[in-house]
Amino acid sequence: MRLLFALRPGRLLGTFLLTGLLLFASSCGDLAAALPERPTPVPTLARLPSVTPVTPSPTPSVTPLPTLTPTPVPLRGTVAVTANVRSGPGTGFTPVGVFDAGAPLILVSRNGDWFEVIGPGQLRGWMFLQVLEIDPTTAAAVPESDP
């Protein structure tokens, strides 16, 4: 103990620390086991995780919705009395056929009181308003045309 007091105060602290370290090291048993591993002479690279390539999925394309186009409903009428079907709008045009009373017609166009019609057998020609049965609203909806 005398030796400890003979030392200067700064060395006293160092002696205590050294003594404590020695006591700690001796209690650990194998000092080499307590130290971290030494580095190897050749550097070893850390293993990287394997990377599986990801195949990109195709970008979904936006399919536009179809534009709904209304189907035109044909304008219809009937033949009131058996009458000639003419090649043009007027009595000066030659007859191309005859439609019987009650025959259904599709109204294509009009020129004044003459209607271009398609009748049985797909015969196409012109007929005068007085020989036809046409609703006034339907008659007004038929497009006007030149012969």
Beta bridge partners of 99: 83
pTM, entire model: 0.53
Q: What pLDDT was estimated at residue 62?
A: 82
CA neighbor of 85 nearest in space, from 30, 125, 132? 125
Give pLDDT tens digits for 52-79.
777 777 777 888 888 888 878 899 999 9
